[in-house]
A and B are shown apart, each in its own frame.
Chain A
Amino acid sequence: MKTILVVEDEQAIAEMLSLTLEEEGYRVLVAKNGSEALALLASERPHLVLCDVMMPKLDGRGLAQTMAETAEYATIPLVLMSAARLSRESLPESAAAFLPKPLDIDALLELIARLTTA
């Protein structure tokens, strides 16, 4: 079973993503911000990190930077998501993909399936 780490400060979205991904057969870990995600990464090795951009404490950009600079995490695909319309230039190069909110569930599942089998 593949593991997805969902990093999302909005509880309702985190719950929706958890339920949806679990229904698709994934194991789901949830963190409320980048700091919590890093704490989880110390003990878990997810197949993909699905992360909101704007969060308290450590945000999505900060988490992306830390993951890129840490050899153990650098190979984990990171998908960023945000309600903000962000330009390609404003997103970290290390992120594998960006999805706008509201999320298109079918597109999200297709992307996760592709990135976790690559």
Chain B
Amino acid sequence: MSDIAHSAQPFAHVPCGIPGLDTIINGGLFQGGIYIVMGQPGTGKTILGNQISFNHVAAGGQVVYVTLLAETHARMLGHIQGLSFFDAQQIAASLYFISAYQVLEEEGLRGLLGLLRTVVRDRRASLLVIDGLVTAEVAAGSPNEFKHFLHQLQINTDAMSCTTLLLTQSGVDDRTRPEHTMVDGLIELRHERVRLRTLRELEVLKFRGSNHLKGRHVFQINDAGIVVHPRIEALLARPTRPISVRDEQLSTGVLSLDTLIGGGLKFGSATMLLGAPGSGKTLLGLSFLAAGVRANEPGLHFGFYEPPARLIAKGDQIGLDTSEAVRDGRLEIIWQSPLETLIDALATQLLAAVERRGVRRLFIDGMSGFQRAAVYEERLPDFFTALTQELAAREVTTVFSLELPQLFGPAIELPFTGVSTIAENILLLRYSEWRARLERTISVLKMRDQSYDPSIRRFTISDAGIEIQEAFESAEAILTGIARPVISSPPSS
């Protein structure tokens, strides 16, 4: 035999170039594959199709974008030309828009198939997008005819190594549609109303040949087009690198606190500062970061409530030299509005900031910022577990603050369930009334794998810094918020 040809790369990836989407589908679509993108009107199908097309031509590919819609190309392009991926120079050169509506009307599916074959071949297209597939479905005489059309299309485009994206409307009986069994992948775009918010969600329902990230992932449409935020607990179900174990302790920046907790915080651990408003959580966190600055460990303050200027002033006031650390780049302060944000977007931003500067100490000031962004609160324990595991794998020692709603009182109500499993160490900061004075107190609720002093201590903040004072040896019921003196029993006669 003279010629044995081997398929060049039957499983080569065709990246979508959409942030997050290629991560969810493990690198991109497969060359020659056929994929359905479905969704209700207004969910972003046309933007997705165009964004993938413009990205594909920017990477050197050739695209044929076929519309079966009544909308003109001018109108469609008018709607997307403000998005940053849009490049008018590519249109007609590498990105070819044609309307097949009339051909379908006059010649049916057979005529449409002929047109698609010819145009893909003539343009040597590596990506074909058909926008408005539902029109072809309606034009088919029967479900079998439509299936046959898709099968023919699949074979033709596969033979031309052309990846195909079919954009279509979703309906009520989508889970049982026969064409869904034929295609290589099925991506659904949805609007989901959760209380007063409406979320855009993407779900890959099927993706042959790849272990994609299952479940729903939120996405946004902004000036850059579509940005998908993979669900963090799915993306980081396993950390991206092994978690190294080092027998090393990091100072909290408060020597007396280090003594209380048995020498410092373990390298790579996650510690929660649980406390009432104003109980000193932020200053303790800043102090932890300042100790890192002194040890040349890059720090990051990721907060939601206090803007950078106020934090810097706060740190400077108690002698932490926060302004200088920020100025020379050893400390970064990222402030995020807690309003209308997305939890997965926040985590992605946080991890990117950690990676960018090789952050070793992180203070997340306000877990409730993530809580507000979560929308689905039941996600929080898994979300934080995945995030803290990943931070540990990236050799980051993390301190979180979590505000307790009550200033005083015998009960501690945690803002969400599963808090104690997220953090290896928990410090409780509270107020207590003692002899007509309001005292800040600190106590250790949990320190994993290290011994600590279980006493309840006074905790003072002054211009000289934070100081942990002596234990309340002559009082009890301190954690109720109203301490009372211990009355010693009279000696028995």
Which of B89-97, B134-142, B155-163, B187-195 is the interface stretch?
Answer: B155-163
User: Of A19, A88, A97, A100, which is within 8 A of B117 by CB?
Assistant: A19
A84 to chain B, nearest CB (A): 11
Using CB atoms, name the residue of chain B closest to A111: B3
Contact between chains at A93 and B1 (CB < 8 Å)? yes
Question: Which chain A residues border B7 with CB–CB below 8 Å?
Answer: 100-102, 104
Asked whether any CB of chain A lies closer than 8 Å to the CB of B177, the reply is: no
Asked whether any CB of chain B lies closer than 8 Å to the CB of A107, the reply is: yes
Bound Cα distance from A100 to B7, whole angstroms:
6
Encode contact with B along A15-59: 1 for CB under 8 Å, 0 otherwise. 110011000000000000000000000000000000000000000
Bound Cα distance from A88 to B452, whole angstroms:
71
Using CB atoms, name the residue of chain B closest to A91: B1
Asked whether any CB of chain A lies closer than 8 Å to the CB of B411, the reply is: no
Asked whether any CB of chain A lies closer than 8 Å to the CB of B32, the reply is: yes
Asked whether any CB of chain B lies closer than 8 Å to the CB of A113, the reply is: no
Contact between chains at A96 and B156 (CB < 8 Å)? no
Encode contact with B along A73-104: 1 for CB under 8 Å, 0 otherwise. 00000000000000010011101111111111
Contact between chains at B152 and A15 (CB < 8 Å)? yes
Asked whether any CB of chain A lies closer than 8 Å to the CB of B492, the reply is: no
Contact between chains at A102 and B1 (CB < 8 Å)? no
Contact between chains at B121 and A104 (CB < 8 Å)? no
Question: Which chain A residues border B158 with CB–CB below 8 Å?
Answer: 102
Encode contact with A along B145-182: 1 for CB under 8 Å, 0 otherwise. 00010011011101111000000000000000000000
Contact between chains at A96 and B10 (CB < 8 Å)? no
Q: Which of A16, A91, A101, A111 has the most CB of B within 10 A?
A: A16
Using CB atoms, name the residue of chain B closest to A93: B1
Bound Cα distance from A100 to B68, whole angstroms:
33
Question: Which chain A residues border B148 with CB–CB below 8 Å?
Answer: 12
Restricting to B103-157, which residues have a CB under 8 Å from any CB of A? 114, 117, 121, 148, 151-152, 154-156
Bound Cα distance from A96 to B158, whole angstroms:
24
Bound Cα distance from A101 to B159, whole angstroms:
8
Q: If the complex has contacts A100-B5, A105-B160, are A12 and B121 also in contact, measured as CB distance less than 8 A?
A: no
Q: If the complex has contacts A15-B152, A16-B156, A105-B121, are A91 and B8 also in contact, measured as CB distance less than 8 A?
A: no
Assign chain B's interface to a size class.
20 to 34
Contact between chains at A88 and B159 (CB < 8 Å)? no
Contact between chains at B1 and A96 (CB < 8 Å)? yes
Question: Which chain B residues border A102 with CB–CB below 8 Å?
Answer: 7, 10, 32, 155, 158-159, 161
Contact between chains at B5 and A104 (CB < 8 Å)? yes
Bound Cα distance from A97 to B1, whole angstroms:
6
Q: If the complex has contacts A12-B155, A15-B152, A102-B32, are A91 and B5 also in contact, measured as CB distance less than 8 A?
A: no
B322 to chain A, nearest CB (A): 61
A72 to chain B, nearest CB (A): 21
Using CB atoms, name the residue of chain B closest to A103: B159
Question: Which chain A residues border B152 with CB–CB below 8 Å?
Answer: 12, 15-16
Question: Which chain B residues border A107 with CB–CB below 8 Å?
Answer: 5
Question: Which chain B residues border A92 with CB–CB below 8 Å?
Answer: 1
B363 to chain A, nearest CB (A): 54
Using CB atoms, name the residue of chain A closest to B151: A12
Restricting to B1-15, which residues have a CB under 8 Å from any CB of A? 1-8, 10
B448 to chain A, nearest CB (A): 52
Contact between chains at A95 and B8 (CB < 8 Å)? no
Question: Which chain B residues border A16 with CB–CB below 8 Å?
Answer: 117, 152, 155-156, 159
Contact between chains at A100 and B6 (CB < 8 Å)? yes
Question: Which chain A residues border B2 with CB–CB below 8 Å?
Answer: 96-97
A93 to chain B, nearest CB (A): 6
List the interface of chain B (C-beta within 8 A of A).
Answer: 1-8, 10, 32, 114, 117, 121, 148, 151-152, 154-156, 158-161
Q: Sample 28 A-B pairs with CB under 8 A, ordered by A number.
A: A12-B151, A13-B155, A15-B152, A16-B117, A16-B152, A16-B156, A16-B159, A19-B117, A88-B1, A91-B1, A93-B1, A95-B1, A96-B1, A97-B3, A97-B4, A97-B5, A98-B1, A98-B3, A98-B4, A99-B5, A100-B6, A100-B7, A100-B10, A102-B7, A102-B10, A103-B159, A104-B159, A105-B160
